[in-house]
Structure 1
Amino acid sequence: MRTKDKLSHFIHCILFYPAVFLLLALTGSYQASAQAATRSRVDQLSDEDVQNFYERAQASGLSEAQIEQAAMSQGYTLDDIAKMRKRITALRAQSSRPLSQSVIDKQTGRTLPPDLSRRTDSLTITRKDTSKKLRVFGASLFENANLSFEPNLRIATPRNYVVGPDDEIKIDISGASTGNFELKVSPDGTVKIPDLAPIFVSGLTIEQAEQRIIDRLRKGGYQGLGTAGSGTSANITLTNIRSIRVTLVGEVVRPGTYTISSLGSAFNALYLAGGPNPETGSFRKISVIRGNRVVRTIDLYDYILRADQRDNIQLRDQDVIRVADYETHVELKGQVRRPAIFEVLPGETLKTVLGFAGGFADDAYRASITLRRNTSRERRIVTISEDQIGAFIPQGGDKYEVGKILERYENRVQVAGAVMRPGDYSLEPGLETVRQLINRADGLRKDAFTNRASIMRERPDMDRENLSFDLGKLMRGEIADIPLMRQDSLTVLSIRDLREKYYVIIEGAVNLPDSIEFVANMSVADLVAQAGGFQEGAKPNLVEVARRIRQDSAGIRATKLEIYRFAIDRNLQITSMKSDSGTSAEFKLKPFDIVYIRTSPNYEEQQQVYVYGEIMQPGNYSIFSREERISDLIKRAGGLKPQAYITGAQFKRKGIIIGNDLSRILTDSGIEENLLLRAQDTLYIPKRPEIVGVEGAVLNSSAVSYKEDYKFGDYISEAGGTTDNARKSKAYIVYPNGRKARTHHFLFFSFRPKVYPGSTIVVPFKPLESNKLSTAERLGILSLLTTVSIALVNILLR
C-alpha cells in the first residue's frame, strides 16, 4: 500500500510540474521493433529541463526504481529511461566534481560514478621531512598527491571485468540490420531489451555477458547476428561504470569503507585510506579478502623496487583489504643509498635488506657492518663480516650501521715540488724507491735544488718523521737508493723556494708605476716599456736607480745604497750613465732595484679656477702664472657688473670660505688679502641681499629685512630679544664674505659690530652647569656642616 501511495503522489506531482510532464507525456507511439530505431524525445530535452525533473522527482519522495516503474506504466521504454538516467548521472557528477576533473571520457563515452570516495586531507600533500629520524621504507608512497592510482577510463574494458548492477552496456548492431541499445543492469542483475525477456548478466564477465546478449538478440529477430558470413555484427561496450564498496581494516591510516569505481584497484583503495600505518602496519602482508577467502597477498616492496603491479588486482564489490601488523622492522643507516627502516619477512637475510636499501654507497666500508641488537635485558654489539652478510638473519629491532672508508690509502706515495709531474702514485713493483718515483714523474725540473730533498714518513705510532738526503748524489748513483713505504711524501725543492721573490719597482712619471717580477737581463728601458712608457711630463734625462748593497764588508759602510743615473731619450735609448763607482758598462737591473723617473720642473698640467655670479664673463679660467692673484682673475673675467655686492663676495678654497674684503683688494691689489690663485679655487660675486639673519639664543631665530638705521641690538629685538640662557656679551656677527666680528667691551661700555646686508647675527648660549648641586645635595651638605659645628662647640665648652 505504501508503494501505491507514493506512486499516486508521483502522478500528482506530474500534474503540477510542467517540466516533469514534458518528460513523461511524450507524444507519438513508439515502434516496438528493434530495427526501427527512432530518435527519442529525451535527446531533445535541455540540460536545464533534465535538472528540473531530477530535483522535483527527488522532492516527490519516490525512489529511482519507483519513478522508472511509474514511467513504464505509462508506456515508455527502458531505452527512454536509460537515456534519462544517463543524462541525470552526468549532470550530478558534473556538479559534484571540481571543474578541473574530467567526468566523461570523450573517446569511450565512459563516466565515473558521482559518489566515489575522495581523499582530501593533508596527507595528499607531499612534505619534505626535515628531521633526522629514519622513515619506514614505502611510507612516502601514499603521501604523494601525484600518485593516486585512479583507474584510466580510456583503456579498453578488461575482458575479465565482472558486470554488476548499475553498469551500463551499449549495444551497436550494424550490417544487414541496425540497432542501438543502451542498457542498464538492474538491481536484480538483468538487462532489458525491448520486446525481449530480461537477460541475467550480473556476476558474468563482460565477455560472457556479451555472448549471452548476442545469443538472446539472435533468437529475438536478429538472424545470424554474430555469425560469420551473416553480414550483421554487434559491438557491446561498457559505458557508464558502477561504483563498488570496499572495506579496509587492520593497520591502515584511516580504516573504513570506501566507494570506488568498479575499475578501481587495490592500490587505489589503499591510497584512499592513506596506506598502511607506518608505525604499526605491514607493507608486505596486505590481504585482499573476497567471500571470506584470501585471493591475493600484496607485497608493496615488489611495486616500489621493481614496479611490479601483478598484485594490484581489480577489486570487486564487498572486497575487504586487511593490512596486518608488521613482524620484523630493522633499521639500516650509514653509507647505503637509501637509509630507512625496512620490513623483513621470514627467510630474508641481511643481503636482502641491503638490496632494499639500494646497496652500499660508493664510499662505504664493506669489510664489516656494525649491529646493535636488543636482548632480553640490554643491548649488545655484533660485528658482521663481509662474508657473513649473505647468511645473516635479521631480528626485530636490529639497527645496522654501515661505516665510511678511512681517508687513507693502502699503497699511495706522493711527490711534490720541482718534478715534471707531481702528484700521487701507487706503491707497486717497479715503483718502490725514490729514483723510480722521480723517473715515473718524468724526472726533475731544471730549477730543482738537488743538494737536499726530504721524505715525510708516517711511523707505526702515527707520528711523522723527516728523512733528508742529497738528491743529486742519489740520482747520480753515488749513494744508495732509498726504499719507499706506504704514505711516504717526497718533496723536491726549487731554487726559487730558497730565496725571496725577485722583483723590481718603477716609480714616478710613467703610465703604470708598479712592482714588476724580475727577470734576468732586464734593462731600464725594458722596465719603462713594461710600465707603459713615459708620462707627458717625464724628464727622461734624469733617471735614477737605487740598488741594495749585497756584498759583505769588513766594516759598516757610510752609504746605504748604490745610486745610478741615466739619460734616456723617449725612444728608450740610453744616451749617458753616471754611477757612484763611475763605471760606464752596459747597465742591467738586479733584483730589488728601484727605478725613479723624475718629472720636468717646468711641466704642469692646466689648473683651473671658477668665478661666477655678478661678473661680466663667469666660468672656468686656467691659471697661467704662478703670480696670478684674485684681482687678476677679476680683470680677466671682464670686471664686475653694476649690481655686484662686493662686500658679500665669497672666495673658497677646497670648499672652505676664506674671509677677505674684495673691495679693499680691488682698491689696492698689493695687500696681503689679494691671495695667489690655486687649483679649484672659486670666487662668487652675489647681488646685494636684503636680509639679516638672527640665530642662537633668541626667542625667534629668523631673517630680518635690512634697514639702514638699524643697529646690532635692533635686529636682536626684531627676533624677540634674547633668552634667559643667552651670553649677550659674546654675541658676534658673520659677514657674507666669511669674516666675523664680535662685541668689544671697554670699562662699562660695549661696542657692537656694524651690520651689513646678508650678515648673520649669532647670540651664543650659556654652557650647561653640569656640576651644579641639586636641592637635596645642598640640604645634605648643610646638615653635615651643622652637625660638625655642634660637635666643635661641645668640644670647646669642655
Structure 2
Amino acid sequence: MKPRHILMSFLMLCSIMAFAITDQQVIDYIKQQTAAGKSEQQIGKELMAKGVTPEQAKRIKAQLESQQQGENQATRQTVTSAESERKHNAAEDVSVSSIENMQREIEKGDAMSGSGRKIYGHQVFNSQSLTFEPSENLATPQNYRLGPGDEVVIDIWGTSEDHMRQTISPEGSIMISQIGPVYLNGLTIKDANQHIKSAFSRKYAGMNDAETDIQVTLGQVRTIQVDILGEVATPGTFRMSPFSSVFHALYRAGGINDIGSLRNIQVLRNGKKVAGVDIYDYLFKGKTSGNIRLQEGDVIIVPPYEQLVNIDGNVKRPMYYEIKPDETVKSLLDYAGGFTGDAYGGMVRLSRQSGTENELYNIDRGEFATYRLQDGDIITVGTILDRYANRVELKGAVYRPGMFAIGDGLKTVRDLIDKADGVTEDAYTDRVLLYREGPEKQLEVVALDLKDILRGAAPDITLKRNDMLVISSVNELEERGDVYIGGQVARPGAYPYAANSTVEDLIFQAGGLLEGASTARVDISRRIVDPSATEATNQLAQEFTVSIENGLAVGKGKGFRLKPYDRVEVRRSPGYAPQETVAIDGEVLFAGTYTLRKRNERLSEFVTRAGGLIDGAYIKGAHLSRRLSESELAARKEALRLAMSNNSENMGDSIAIDKIDLSNMYNVGINLEKALANPGSDYDLVLMPGDSLYVPEKQSTVKISGDVMFPNAVIYEPGKKLSHYINQAGGYGQRAKKGKAFIVYMNGTVARAKRNTPIEPGCHIIVPSKPQNGGTDWSKILTLTTGFMSVATMVATIPNLFK
C-alpha cells in the first residue's frame, strides 16, 4: 500500500478539528506508520485524533493531485503504454479500497462524536501542547522494577574497582564473569543493588567489610507494552517508555472520545485494579495521585461516562461536565467557574428527562449543596433584571442633571432639585413634566408647578422608582432661529441669534469688514410676521438700510436691533477697485508689467508709458493677447458643446474640436500703427486687465504651409503677389482647395488669400486640403496656426472667412 494512496483517501473524507499539524507532518506520519505495519483503519483513527481542518485537507489533496499528474506524465514518457495502464489500474483499485476502509472508520467516528457537544476535559489528551511525555533525564527511581531489556550499570570502588554494563536477558538475568548468572527480573533498583553486592562479595575482597562499595543504576531502558481499551480515540496495544504514566498513555491513544469517562479510569495490573484515575482531580485541584507509573502488561480501561450534565447561561464556563452520582448543583457550579457578574444567583432552572417527558424544576440557593443531579440534566443560570430598584433621573435646566438614587436624603422632587444644586437661571419652572410608570407599567406624565413646590406654596411630590423629571429652558420654548450676514465680511454665513444683538455685533462675529466694504450702506431684510393676518400680501420682506462709522451704526441705524432670521448684506464700496495690471514686451524702451491708472486706458497711452517703440520694431506685427472673462468662458464652453454635438452627427466636414487644447487666452487683431497715429480713435483699443502687448522686431520671411508641394518659409519680397509665394513652395498640392487659402498676419488678423491680397513680412499663408471624404480637414489646418495666434481665436475667426 503506497502512503500516497492512504493520504489521498484520508484527505478526501476527513472533516475534523485542527491541532496545528502541518501538511508535511501529515505526510511523514502516514509514511512512518505504514512502514511500521499499521492498517489503514488504525492510521485513519490516529490522524482523526490529531486533527486536520477541511481547508488543510483540500490544500494537501490539491498538492497530491498535482504531484500525481506529474508522475503520470513522467510514467507515460518512460514506460510502455501497457505497463503504464497496468500501474494506473492497480493504483486506482488500491485507492478505492482505501477510500472504503477509511470511510467506514470515519463514519464510525462521526457516530461517536456526532452530537457536537463540548465536554470539559476531553481536549486535554489530544492537544500537542500537553503530551505528558516522561523525562528521560531523571535519576533512576529506587522503586523501579527491572526487567528483560533494561541495561544495568554496575560501579565498584574502594579496595577493588570495576565498571561494567550488562543488559538483562529475556530470562531475567545478567552474566557476570567468575560469578555466573545473576537473576534481576522483577527486583527494584534498591533490591537489585543489595542482591548484586551480595553476589559480588564472592569475587571482590572487602565487600563485606565496607572497604569496597557497589552502586547499581540504569543505562538504556527497555520499552513496556501497555493495553489501552474502552472509549479512547485509538484503543490498542502501545509500546512506551517504562517511565510513562497513565496520562501519557491516554495521550498516545488519541485522548478520550465523547462517551468516555474522565472520572472513573481504571488501571489493571495482573488482573487486579491498582489505581482509579479521576481527571477532574488533576484539572481542578492539581492532584496527580492516580497518575501512576505504568509497568509491563498494565491494562488501562476507559469506561463510558455515567452522568453527563450541561450548564448554560450566566456562568463563566458554560459547557458539558461529567459528574459522579453523589455530586450536586454546587459541584457543577464550581466546575463551571461560578456565576458571572450579571448572573442571578438566587435560583437556577433545571430541565430533566423523566423517561416519558421533560420536567422543569426551580432550585433555590439553599438547595445548591444538597440537590443531586442525574444524567442528561440541563442547568440554566439566568441574568439579573435590566432595571434599577432605586433610580430616578433629572434632565434639563439644572446644574447637575443625571441619575440619582432614592434614599434617606432623597425622597421628593424638592430633594432631587437640591441634590442637583438647583435650577439654572433660564429654567422654566411654571410647568415641568414628571414621567413615571403606572400601575400596569404604562408611561404616565404628570405636570407640576415646580416654582410653587420650591417656595412651599404647593405640596411636594414623593418620588418613585424610574421617575424622570424634565425641566425645560426658556430658550428652548422660544423660536430663536439664526441670522445671516453676507457680502464684504471676512466670514459670511449663518450665526445663532442672541437677544438684543446689533448689526455691529454680527459684523464682529463675522470677522469684521473687508477692505472694499461700504460703510455708507448696509442692508437688512426681515421676515414679515403677522399671526393675525386673514389674507395674503404681495410684500415678501421688510428692508432696512443703516450706515456704519467707526464700527458703530449711525443715523437711523443707531440702536437697530436684529431679530431671528434677519439677513444682513454689506455692500461693496463703489469707490474701491483692486489694482489691475497689463504687460508689454518686445521692441519697446521699458518692457514689463504696468498697473492700469484709470478706466478706459488706451493702447497709445500704454505704449507711451513704456517709453515708446525702439528702432527696428515691426509695428505692423504687434499683437495683443487677452484673457477670457467669466462670461466669455461660459459662452465658449456652450459653443464647443454644440460644435462637438454637430461633429458627432456630421463627421464629413466638421472640426475635430474634441482633439483641440483650448487656452484661456486669445489674440485680439490690432493695428498699432494707426492707433499711435490716431490716439482716441477706434483703432486705439481700450485695454482690459490682464492684456499683454507684444511688439516684434522686423521680420523678413513669409511662411507657406498646408496643401503645397513643399511647405516652407521664404524671404519676403515687396510687391510680390500670392502666386509668387505659392510657387516658392513648389505650387499647390493635388488636393489643395485653392479658393479657400487664407493669410494670418502677425497682428492677429486673418484675410482671404486672393490675387491682390497684400503680403506682409512675417505673415503665414495657409492652403487647406480636401480630405478623402470630400470635407475640409480643419483639425490639421488649425494645428499649423498656433505659432501666430491661439486656437480659440481661430475657432472664432476662420468660419467667418467663408460665409
**TM-score under structure 2 length normalisation:** 0.62
Point out the more displaced range, 144-153 or 396-405.
396-405
- What is the distance in 2 between the residues matched to 1:609 and 1:167? 111
Per-residue CA distance 1:707-752 (angstroms, 9 max, x = gap):
964669825999997566x66799996454332489999xxxxx97
Q: Which residue of 2 aligns with 1:332?
A: 311
- What is the distance in 2 between the residues matched to 1:689 and 1:544? 61
Q: Is the 8 A contact 1:333 1:340 kept in 2?
A: yes
- What is the distance in 2 between the residues matched to 1:208 and 1:630? 130
TM-superposed CA distance for 1:427, in Å, is 2.8
1:464–1:246 Cα change, 3 Å: same
TM-superposed CA distance for 1:146, in Å, is 0.9
Listed as ranges, the matches of 1:717-732 within 5 Å are 722=771
Q: Which residue of 2 aligns with 1:203?
A: 186
1:719–1:451 Cα change, 3 Å: same
Per-residue CA distance 1:592-617 (angstroms, 9 max, x = gap):
77666666656556667899999999
- What is the distance in 2 between the residues matched to 1:402 and 1:192? 70
Paired AA for residue 458 in structure 2: I
Q: Which residue of 2 aligns with 1:399?
A: 378
Q: Does 1:186 align with 2:164?
A: no
Point out the more displaced range, 418-427 or 381-390.
381-390
Per-residue CA distance 1:14-63 (angstroms, 9 max, x = gap):
xxxxxxxxxxxxxxxxxxxxxxxxxxxxxxxxxxxxxxxxxxxxxxxxxx
Q: Which residue of 1 aligns with 2:134?
A: 151
Q: Is the 8 A contact 2:390 2:465 kept in 1?
A: yes
Per-residue CA distance 1:613-640 (angstroms, 9 max, x = gap):
9999999887776557899999979999
1:383–1:639 Cα change, 3 Å: farther
Which among 549, 557, 567 is matched to residue 567 of structure 1?
549
Q: Is the 8 A contact 2:46 2:234 kept in 1?
A: no
Q: Does 1:263 align with 2:239?
A: no
Which among 272, 276, 291 is matched to residue 252 of structure 2?
272
TM-superposed CA distance for 1:466, in Å, is 0.6
1:378–1:156 Cα change, 3 Å: same
Secondary structure at the aligned position of 2:261 is classed as strand
Secondary structure at the aligned position of 1:714 is classed as coil
Q: Does 1:121 align with 2:104?
A: no
Q: Which residue of 1 aligns with 2:735?
A: 714
1:610–1:676 Cα change, 3 Å: closer
TM-superposed CA distance for 1:511, in Å, is 4.8
Percent identical pairs in the alignment equals 31
- What is the distance in 1 between the residues matched to 2:395 and 2:139? 71
1:559–1:526 Cα change, 3 Å: closer
1:383–1:656 Cα change, 3 Å: farther
Paired AA for residue 271 in structure 2: N
- What is the distance in 2 between the residues matched to 1:234 and 1:527? 110
Point out the more displaced range, 631-640 or 392-401.
631-640
Listed as ranges, the matches of 1:638-787 within 5 Å are 653=628, 656=663, 660=667, 662=669, 676-678=687-689, 709=726, 714=735, 722=771, 734=782, 736=786, 737=790, 738=792, 739-740=794-795
TM-superposed CA distance for 1:347, in Å, is 1.6
Q: Which residue of 2 aligns with 1:577?
A: 553
Which among 342, 360, 370 is matched to residue 339 of structure 2?
360
TM-superposed CA distance for 1:162, in Å, is 2.5
Paired AA for residue 195 in structure 2: R
Paired AA for residue 410 in structure 1: A
Q: Is the 8 A contact 1:253 1:276 kept in 2?
A: yes
Q: Is the 8 A contact 1:540 1:567 kept in 2?
A: no
- What is the distance in 2 between the residues matched to 1:328 and 1:462? 45
Q: Which residue of 2 aligns with 1:283?
A: 262
Paired AA for residue 265 in structure 1: S
Listed as ranges, the matches of 1:127-526 within 5 Å are 134-173=117-156, 178-218=161-201, 220-221=203-204, 223=206, 227=210, 236-278=216-258, 280-500=259-479, 507=486, 509=488, 511-513=490-492
TM-superposed CA distance for 1:322, in Å, is 1.4
Per-residue CA distance 1:426-456 (angstroms, 9 max, x = gap):
3334432212222233333344322222111
TM-superposed CA distance for 1:174, in Å, is 5.3
- What is the distance in 1 between the residues matched to 2:357 and 2:416? 54
Per-residue CA distance 1:213-269 (angstroms, 9 max, x = gap):
444445532635895xx5x65554434332222221111111122222111111111
Per-residue CA distance 1:627-670 (angstroms, 9 max, x = gap):
57899999979999999997999866466456545465787597
TM-superposed CA distance for 1:550, in Å, is 10
Paired AA for residue 142 in structure 1: F
Q: Is the 8 A contact 1:544 1:565 kept in 2?
A: yes
1:343–1:559 Cα change, 3 Å: closer
- What is the distance in 2 between the residues matched to 1:222 and 1:614? 133
Unpaired runs of 5+ in structure 1? 1-96, 99-113, 569-573, 695-702, 746-750, 754-798
- What is the distance in 2 between the residues matched to 1:650 and 1:144? 85
Q: Which residue of 2 aligns with 1:771?
A: none
Secondary structure at the aligned position of 1:450 is classed as coil
1:452–1:225 Cα change, 3 Å: farther
Point out the more displaced range, 599-608 or 399-408.
599-608
Per-residue CA distance 1:758-777 (angstroms, 9 max, x = gap):
xxxxxxxxxxxxxxxxxxxx
TM-superposed CA distance for 1:139, in Å, is 2.5
Q: Is the 8 A contact 2:602 2:684 kept in 1?
A: no
1:581–1:419 Cα change, 3 Å: closer
Q: Is the 8 A contact 1:248 1:255 kept in 2?
A: yes
1:711–1:258 Cα change, 3 Å: farther
Q: Which residue of 2 aligns with 1:768?
A: none
Q: Is the 8 A contact 2:618 2:695 kept in 1?
A: no
Q: Is the 8 A contact 2:527 2:565 kept in 1?
A: no
- What is the distance in 1 between the residues matched to 2:361 and 2:137? 55
**TM-score under structure 1 length normalisation:** 0.62
- What is the distance in 2 between the residues matched to 1:206 and 1:261? 17
Per-residue CA distance 1:553-577 (angstroms, 9 max, x = gap):
9999997255543222xxxxx5x63
Q: Is the 8 A contact 2:353 2:376 kept in 1?
A: yes
- What is the distance in 2 between the residues matched to 1:616 and 1:245? 116
Point out the more displaced range, 626-635 or 148-157.
626-635
TM-superposed CA distance for 1:486, in Å, is 1.6
Paired AA for residue 467 in structure 2: D
Q: Is the 8 A contact 1:651 1:683 kept in 2?
A: no
Per-residue CA distance 1:466-501 (angstroms, 9 max, x = gap):
111011111111111111122111222233433356
The structure whose residues are more often helix, as a share, is 2
- What is the distance in 2 between the residues matched to 1:198 and 1:631? 138
- What is the distance in 2 between the residues matched to 1:327 and 1:704? 110
1:348–1:652 Cα change, 3 Å: same
Point out the more displaced range, 172-181 or 208-217.
172-181
- What is the distance in 1 between the residues matched to 2:326 and 2:555? 98
TM-superposed CA distance for 1:422, in Å, is 2.5
Q: Is the 8 A contact 1:412 1:425 kept in 2?
A: yes
